[in-house]
Amino acid sequence: MIFGFPLLSVAIWLPIIFGLLVLATGNDRNAPLARVIALVGSILGFLVTIPLYVDFDKMTSAMQFVELRDWVTHFNIHYHLGVDGISVLFVLLNSFFTPLVVIAGWKVIEKRVAQYLAAFLIMSGLVNGVFVSLDAVLFYVFWEAMLIPMFIIIGVWGGTNRVYAAVKFFLYTFFGSVLMLIALLYLYIHSGGSFAILDYHQMAIPMTAQILVFIAFFMAFSVKVPMFPVHTWLPDAHVEAPTGGSVVLAAILLKVGAYGFIRFSMPIVPDASHHLAGVMIALSLIAVVYIGLVALVQTDMKKLVAYSSISHMGFVTLGFFIFNAYGMEGALLQMISHGFISGALFLCIGVLYDRMHTRNIADYGGVANKMPVFAAFFILFAMANVGLPGTSGFVGEFMVIMGTVKVNFWYAFTAATILVFGAAYTLWMVKRVIFGAVANQHVAQLTDITLREKLMFVILALTVLGMGLYPLPFTEIMHASVNDLLVHIARSKL
Partner 1 sequence: MSYLSTLSSAYAEIFLLVMASSILIVDLFITDPNKTLTYILVQLTLLSCALITVTTHEPGVVHLFNNMFVDDLMSDVLKLLSYLAVSMVLVYSRSYLILRGLFTGEFMVLTLFALLGMMVMISATHFITLYIGLELLSLSLYAMVALQRDSATATEAAMKYFILGALASGLLLYGMSMLYGATGTLAVAAVSDAITHGVENKALLVFGLVFMVAGLAFKLGAVPFHMWVPDVYHGAPTAVTMLIGSAPKLAVFAFVMRILVDGLQPLVMHWSGMLAILAVLSMAIGNITAIAQTNLKRMLAYSTIAHMGFLLLGVLSGGIDGYSSAMFYVVIYVLMSLGGFGMIMLLSREGFEADMLNDFKGLNQRSPWLAFMMLILMFSMAGVPPTAGFYAKLSVLQAVVGAGHIPLAVMAVLFSLIGAFYYLRIVKLMYFDSPETHVKISIQPDNGLLISINGLAILALGIMPSTLITVCAIAVQKSLMLH
- Give the interface segment with partner 1, choosing from 89-97, 143-151, 361-369, 428-436 (CB under 8 A): 143-151
Q: Quick one: 195 or 261, whose CB is closer to partner 1?
A: 195
Establish if 147 lies at the interface with partner 1 (CB under 8 A).
Answer: yes
Q: Quick one: which of 130, 131, 165, 138 has its CA closest to 151?
A: 165
Q: Which listed residue (4, 59, 73, 447) binds partner 1 by CB under 8 A?
A: 73
Q: Quick one: 173 or 317, whose CB is closer to partner 1?
A: 173
Q: Which listed residue (115, 308, 404, 426) binds partner 1 by CB under 8 A?
A: 115
- Give the interface segment with partner 1, choosing from 158-166, 275-283, 285-293, 466-474 (CB under 8 A): 158-166
Q: What share of the chain is helix, strand, coil (3-state, %, to 5)?
A: 75, 5, 20
Q: What is the CA radius of gyration of the chain?
A: 21
- Give the interface segment with partner 1, choosing from 71-79, 291-299, 430-438, 449-457 (CB under 8 A): 71-79
Cα(first)–Cα(last) distance of the chain, in Å?
36
Angle, in degrees to the nearest 10, between helices 325-356 and 451-469: 160
Q: Quick one: which of 144, 137, 143 has its CA closest to 188?
A: 137
Q: Quick one: which of 242, 222, 241 has its CA closest to 232?
A: 222
Establish if 113 lies at the interface with partner 1 (CB under 8 A).
Answer: no
Of residues 175 through 204, those in contact with partner 1 by CB under 8 A are 175, 178-179, 181-182, 185-186, 188-189
Q: Which listed residue (13, 53, 174, 290) binds partner 1 by CB under 8 A?
A: 174
In this structure, what DSSP letter does residue 183 have? Answer: H
DSSP string, 284-330: HHHIIIIIHHHHHT--BHHHHHHHHHHHHHHHHHHHHTTTSHHHHHH
Q: Judge whether 214 and 273 are in contact, CB under 8 Å.
A: yes
Establish if 166 lies at the interface with partner 1 (CB under 8 A).
Answer: yes
Establish if 144 lies at the interface with partner 1 (CB under 8 A).
Answer: yes
Q: Judge whether 137 and 195 are in contact, CB under 8 Å.
A: yes
Q: Judge whether 38 and 118 are in contact, CB under 8 Å.
A: yes
Q: Which listed residue (170, 261, 320, 323) binds partner 1 by CB under 8 A?
A: 170
Establish if 462 lies at the interface with partner 1 (CB under 8 A).
Answer: no
Taking the complex as a whole, the smallest distance from the CB of residue 67 to partner 1 amounts, in Å, to 16
Q: Quick one: 145 or 459, whose CB is closer to partner 1?
A: 145
Q: Quick one: 178 or 362, whose CB is closer to partner 1?
A: 178
Q: Quick one: which of 142, 90, 195, 107 has its CA closest to 478?
A: 90
Contact footprint for partner 1 (CB under 8 A): 26-27, 70-75, 112, 115, 137, 140-142, 144-145, 147-148, 151-152, 155-156, 162-163, 166-167, 170-171, 174-175, 178-179, 181-182, 185-186, 188-189
